[in-house]
Amino acid sequence: MIKSMTGFAQVDTKYKEARIHAEIKTLNNKYLDVSIKLPNEYSIFEDKVRKLIAEAIKRGKVNVNVALDYFNGTHEAVVINRKKAKTYYNKIKELSRILKVSDSIKISDILFLPGVIETQTQKKDTVISWNYVEKTIKKAISKVIIRRICEGRILYLDICKQIKKMAMLVEKIEKRANPSVDKVKQSFSKRVQELVDKKSLDNSRIETEAAIYAKNCDIHEEITRIKSHIDVFESIFAKEGSGKKLDFLAQELQREFNTIGSKSNDYRISQFVIAAKSEIEKIREQAKNIE
């Protein structure tokens, strides 16, 4: 099944004191181009993320954004320095005895003394945490792949309609592409007879020239090749990298229709060729969206 190159997915999971947010956005691109944004503490895992993307996505511009949202809004923890608090308490009591002051000591008096309350950066277990981050990224990749498949299905149905229209146009061209050599010779001879005295004509030469003319106007080989190309479409859809192959096949079809247009002097066939080329152009535009 073909996949679109455009897709979007985001996944949120909880791990201890933080929420992990993974977001993946994919766009059209000729080759695989991956851009990754991770929190600083997880930057060492960028290659792993790139590998996960490469295993799941073969073509397109891929933007990966991972963020951690800590529930307390900070990476720091509040710590009471008990040793300093006890030292302050003992010194205050000692000073009270020296000054003979019997004022009671409140806990708030000690808490606001320098160094009693400290903030320390929490030590995160990056290795263990990465397992959760990786799972979140994998879920986001799975979701974006599903989205790309759904959009690919829409592209597939649209292209099938265009192929069907093209096949109908080929049938119409084929019905009008059956002038026999005798008919061409008659037309050719009549035209020559209008220009030259009939007695001076070489009938064998006329037949030869008419046969050559009829062969040059014959478009049956092109029609056969077009039918063959149309039959290949379905098998292309079942393979990976179908976008590039689809574009190549559309180019081949356009080349065959161009040849028919240049060979045929039938006005209706020329109209059918123009209509077919319009459908081919639509297919080529759609191929740019396919992985």
Q: What are phi and psi of 7, to 5 degrees?
A: -175, 160
What is the distance between the alpha carbons of residues 194 and 187, in angstroms, rounded to a whole number?
Answer: 11
- As separate numbers, helices (DSSP H) first and strands (DSSP E) second, the chain gives 9, 6
What is the distance between the alpha carbons of residues 156 and 162, in angstroms, rounded to a whole number?
Answer: 10
- Averaged over 119-141, what is the pLDDT? 76
Asked if 170 and 226 count as a contact pair (C-beta separation under 8 A), the reply is: yes
Categorize the per-residue pLDDT at 177 as very low, low, confident or very high, splitting at 50, 70 and 90. Answer: confident
What is the distance between the alpha carbons of residues 110 and 107, in angstroms, rounded to a whole number?
Answer: 5
pTM for the full predicted model: 0.66
Q: What is the pLDDT of residues 46-103, one digit of tens each?
A: 999 999 999 999 999 999 999 988 776 555 567 788 888 888 888 888 878 887 777 7
- Which two structure tokens, joined as six digits, stand for 273? 């060729």
Strands 76-80 and 60-70: unpaired
pLDDT at position 28, please? 93
> Domains (ranges, CATH) in the chain?
7-73+127-148 (3.30.230), 76-121 (no CATH), 152-287 (no CATH)
Name every residue whose Cβ is closer than 8 Å to that of residue 206 and which is 6 or more positions away in sequence: 185, 188, 189, 192
Q: Which of 12-16, 119-123, 205-209, 228-232 has the lowest mean pLDDT?
A: 119-123
- DSSP characters for 201-263? --HHHHHHHHHHHHHHH--HHHHHHHHHHHHHHHHHHTSTTHHHHHHHHHHHHHHHHHHHHHH
Whether 181 shows a pLDDT value over 50: the answer reads no
- Averaged over 267-284, what is the pLDDT? 93
- Averaged over 229-255, what is the pLDDT? 85
Q: Which residue has the tokens 């004022």?
A: 103
Range ranked top by mean pLDDT from 100-109, 115-124, 130-139, 231-240? 130-139
Name every residue whose Cβ is closer than 8 Å to that of residue 188 and which is 6 or more positions away in sequence: 206, 209, 210, 213
Q: What is the pLDDT of residues 216-232, one digit of tens each?
A: 667 888 999 999 999 88
Three-state secondary structure of 47-74: HHHHHHHHHHCCCEEEEEEEEEEECCCC
Cα-Cα-Cα-Cα torsion 11, 12, 16, 17, nearest 10 degrees, comes to: 140
Name every residue whose Cβ is closer than 8 Å to that of residue 171 and which is 6 or more positions away in sequence: none
Categorize the per-residue pLDDT at 180 as very low, low, confident or very high, splitting at 50, 70 and 90. Answer: very low
Whether 259 shows a pLDDT value over 50: the answer reads yes
Whether 40 shows a pLDDT value over 70: the answer reads yes
Asked if 3 and 152 count as a contact pair (C-beta separation under 8 A), the reply is: yes
For residue 233, give the nearest of 167, 288, 289 by alpha carbon: 167
For residue 113, give the nearest of 87, 78, 76 by alpha carbon: 87
Amino acid code (one letter) for 174: E
- The number of angstroms, rounded, from the C-alpha of 26 to the middle of its chain's C-alpha atoms is 6
